[in-house]
Structure 1
Amino acid sequence: MALQNATGSILISIDATIATIEFGHPASNSFPAQLLQDLTKAIETLGQNPEVVVLVLKSQGAAAFCAGASFDELLAVTNEAEGKAFFSGFAHLINAMRKCPKVIVGRVQGKVVGGGVGIAAACDYVLASQEANIKLSELAIGIGPFVIEPAVSRKIGKTALAELALTAQEWKSAAWAQEKGLYAKTFESIEKLDKAVTELVQVLSSYNPEALAEMKKVLWEGTDHWESLLVERAAITGKLVLSDSTKKALAAFKK
């Protein structure tokens, strides 16, 4: 199944009990609002499919995994309501991943920026290439990683989050991300990454689906308040994106 339009694409394939979701956008797999909505719906739908045991989340191409939010849509925000609505897209996606009863395996083949780091953090298990460096650039453009912070902190802790967020113009290596707990393993080539993903999900799909679903609940214990928290954080970011300094920084980054 494929959902394709000017705002990007979502490709869904199911092989036996393993479902693969592949998102894509011409601008380094960044996310406009519609693509966020499409991905959220795909995860919710597959989460309720009794034939599916495991989900694989990946992006198109061999370069960036995800460049975060669409700069074009950020620049187009004209009021707080629009800003909150846009960033709520990331809130709804992370909550959908959190509540999905299926284990989600992230396949991260390249660089990850901003909201993409949050998406990787919301996966239950992540395998990545050694080229999958990460950066939280939000403070450098006048906002902050407020919506994704709970997911990222849950994986790497507040100390590593501070190191990542406060050095907003610096890349952290895939090895750093693995050391801090964002990635479970890293691989020297995409071929080896894909082989490892295939082997992992085949093993996971052989487990008792009910046991996996219960394990997923355990992994996400204590996060029920995210339903409201992430939307509250979206409102904070939606307000900040309207500032003159942020608008200028976004325009400069786009160039």
Structure 2
Amino acid sequence: MTKPYVHIDIQDGIGTIEFFHPAHNSLPGDILSQLAKTITVAGENEDIKVIVLKSGGDRTFCAGASFKELININDEATGKVFFSGFANVINAMRKCPKFIIGRVQGKTVGGGVGIASAMDYCMATKFASIKLSELNVGIGPFVVGPAVERKLGLSGMSQIAIDANTFYPASWAQEKGLFTQVFDSTEELDEGVKAFAENLCNYNPEAMKEMKKMFWQGTEHWDTLLAERASISGRLVLSDFTKETLKRFK
């Protein structure tokens, strides 16, 4: 079984960051930490003009939080640290001075929807249905909520957060503005992402940096906000309801 990883490949001004976990690209704390650091370093690298963020494998883009780690959380402090992992990735994406293009090849759940929502431009396949499943296990999409709401609007975000058992198709996500383009196959997606990233490399990096600041205006308080949200999730994951529910997932 392939081990989890985060790595970056830099070619012709494009920095491609790829993360992988054998459990459907679910994200434990160490991978979240590596991902946040890699995004931050890529943002500071002058050889990189644009970033592509993708996951390994050809099926699930990201299954969200690692259930194995969720089950083992036994105190609020540990819970907050775990959920802060997603907060740190979203904040790293928000602060990164370069455009981040998302490549979403398949289903994405929970925290994965948050990561897709924090992309500056996100492309997907028709297999990339999305689900905010947190309510199913007795918590809620607190940490990723601001990023998802920023893309889908409060109406779209609350719809999928409340209807926590349903996968919404890629076409719905495109209508709501999460996905910019939806392709019939991974091969077509890769061609589309490559062509788009190559084209962006021809633009003025200073202009793109200033545009990114403009697009994310009004989110300057997210360092504090997402930390507060991580505390809520960290508390709820210890509830009897959630503990009992997580046992069934073992």
What is the CA–CA distance in structure 2 between the aligned matches of 1:226 and 1:186, rounded to whole Å? 29
Q: Distance in 2 between matches of 1:35 and 1:206?
A: 32
Task: Give the structure 2 partner of residue 26 of structure 1.
Answer: 22
The question of 1:230 aligning with 2:215 is answered no
Query: How far apart, in 2, do the equivalents of 1:113 and 1:75 lie?
Result: 18
> Residues 73-222 of structure 1: matches in 2 within 5 Å?
73-222=69-218
Cα displacement (A) at 1:11: 1.8
Q: 2:64 matched to 1:42?
A: no
* Equivalent AA in structure 2 for residue 135 of structure 1: K
Determine the C-alpha separation between the residues in 2 that align with 1:84 and 1:20: 29
Q: CA deviation at 1:251?
A: 2.3
Cα distance in 2 between the residues matched to 1:249 and 1:93: 27
Structure 2's unaligned 5+ residue stretches are none
The count of aligned residue pairs is 249
Q: Give TM-score scaled by structure 1 length.
A: 0.96
The 4+ residue runs of structure 1 with deviation greater than 3 A are none
Amino acid at match of 1:34: D
Q: Using the aligned pairs only, state the percent identity.
A: 55
Residue in structure 2 matched with residue 62 of structure 1 by the alignment: 58
Look up the SS of the partner of 1:62 in the other structure: coil
Question: Which of the residues 42, 49, 74 maps onto 1:53?
Answer: 49
Aligned-residue RMSD, C-alpha:
0.9
User: TM-score w.r.t. structure 2 length?
Assistant: 0.98
SS class of match (1:51): coil
Q: Secondary structure at the match of 1:82?
A: helix
